[in-house]
Structure formats: C-alpha cells, structure tokens
Amino acid sequence: MLLQRPFKLFGIEIRHEPAVIFNLEKIFNELGPFDWVIELGTGNGGLAIFFSVQQRIRGGKFVTFDFDLEGKTGKNPRGVQVDRLKRLSISYQEKDIFSPRTRGSILRRIKEGKTFLYCDNGNKATEFRTFAPHLKPGSVVGVDDWGTEIREEHVSEICKRQGLRPIKQWIVGARQRFWLKDPADPVGREGR
Ligand SMILES: C[S@@+](CC[C@H](N)C(=O)[O-])C[C@H]1O[C@@H](n2cnc3c(N)ncnc32)[C@H](O)[C@@H]1O
C-alpha cells in the first residue's frame, strides 16, 4: 500500500506512492525551514497543495511550474484545475521550465537562499543537470522516478563536484531520491 502509486491526497490523484508524504514531511522537519520550495511539474496539483501549506505554516515561499496546466497538449494527461490553485492562492507559473526566461527565473529563486527543489516533470535528468548545480548550502533537491527516468549515471558527476550528498537515513521506498547540498561544503569540489 505504502509503495503503490497513484494515491489520492485531499481527493486529488497524485502519481506517487503515499510514502512520498512521509519522505517530504521528514525533509521539512529534519532539514527545513526553506526560503523557497520549487516544484517542477504541477501535474494535478495535489503535491502543490501539500508544499504550499508546508511553506505557509513554516514561513517560506512556494511556486509550482507546469507548461500544460489544463492538459491541452496531452503532456499533462489529467489537467489541473487552475481555478483550484487560484482559490487556494497557490503561486503557479504556466511556463516551460527550460525556456531561457523561465530557467533564469528559477535560477534567481534558487540563488536567493536555502531551497527545496522537487524535480517532477518530463525530463528529470535535464532538470537536475540544469538546476541542482546552483543550489545554496543546506538546500535539498529531490527527484521522482529514480532508477527509471533518472539514474546514478545522470547525477554522480554533478553530486561529486557540487557536494550533493544522498539522503538515505529515513527515506521510505525507492522511487524518490533526495540530496542535501552539504552546508559545510559551500562550493563543492569544483570550487577548490
Ligand atoms: C508527473 S507530472 C507532475 C506530478 C505532480 N508533481 C504531482 O505530484 O502530482 C509531470 C508534469 O510536468 C509537466 N511538464 C513536462 N515538461 C515540462 C516542461 N518542460 N516545463 C514545464 N512543465 C513540464 C507536464 O505537463 C506534467 O503535468
């Protein structure tokens, strides 16, 4: 049960196992608070609600990105109800995260402070490669579909150079993977 996807949160289907909520909650408790939480890939918006509430309670900012919020292109098969995001005052951007302008706006946020970046769109290896190297010390980056869409060979060199350590202690299940940008290693090996 804990390892089966999809499941529903607030009645909204999330394409993760329920264990993801345990993992995310633990990250907020053990490694937060975060100045920014950024979700790449809103999908149906269930996790966006979870992230947004976390940040409101803990006192940081949140934004979620998706280029197909209404499911018009078929890339987001379900289509989130934008009305729901608006009603809940959840900050969202209907943008392609790899367009130069949007990539720049994500990087600006990441460089502002301690960030929890969750990579969950269609190309997790490219998301990781594009954004993870710019995280500040104490930040966390997470990916879904570990072992299938994104694997060790996509991340190992970046992790080594940037001082990104895998978080293993209390992570349940194998489908998500998280890394902590070592707070004691501000520049990573590249900067030495
Ligand atoms: C797996 S879903 C996200 C699921 C969501 N995080 C959740 O937990 O419910 C992936 C989403 O990424 C979006 N996406 C794919 N490529 C994108 C891109 N280049 N820019 C922005 N969004 C993208 C798709 O439209 C799709 O809705």
Task: Please work out whether the CB of residue 44 comes within 6 Å of at least one atom of ligand 1.
Answer: yes
Residue 109 belongs to a domain with what CATH number?
Answer: 3.40.50.150
Whole-number pLDDT of residue 188:
47
User: Would you say residue 10 lies in a domain?
Assistant: no
pLDDT at 71: 77
The answer to the question of residue 3 being in a domain is no
**Residue 181: predicted pLDDT:** 96
pLDDT at 184: 79
- How many domains are there within the chain? 1
pTM, full prediction:
0.93
Element holding 111 (H helix, E strand)? helix 100-112
Contact 134, 103 (CB under 8 A): no
Task: Give domain status of residue 98, yes or no.
Answer: yes
Is 8 domain-assigned?
no
Q: Tell me the CA end-to-end span of the chain in Å, nearest whole number.
A: 46
* Residue ranges of the chain whose pLDDT lies below 70: 1-2, 74-81, 185-192
Q: Which residues contact 156 (CB under 8 A, 6 or more apart)?
A: none
What is the residue with the minimal CA distance to atom 25 of ligand 1?
76
Instruction: Copy the structure tokens of residue 157.
Output: 């060199």
Please write the tens of the pLDDT for every residue from 56-76.
999 999 999 999 888 777 665
Cβ of residue 46 lying under 6 Å from some atom of ligand 1: yes
Coil, strand or helix at 192: coil
List, in order, residues 6 or more apart from 111 with CB less than 8 Å away.
134, 136
Q: Which atom of ligand 1 is nearest to the CA of 46?
A: 9
Which residue has a Cα nearest atom 14 of ligand 1? 121
**Within a domain: 116:** yes
Does some domain include residue 39? yes
Cα–Cα distance between 187 and 133 in angstroms, integer? 10
Give the model confidence (pLDDT) of 145-178 as tens digits: 999 999 999 999 999 999 999 999 889 888 999 9
Residue 78: predicted pLDDT: 61
Residues in the chain: 192
Closest by alpha carbon to 85, among 67, 71, 64, 60? 64
Residue 61 domain boundaries: 21-191
Protein residue with its CA nearest to atom 5 in ligand 1: 43
In a domain, 136, yes or no: yes
* Domain assignment of residue 177, yes or no: yes
**Would you state the pLDDT for residue 190?**
40
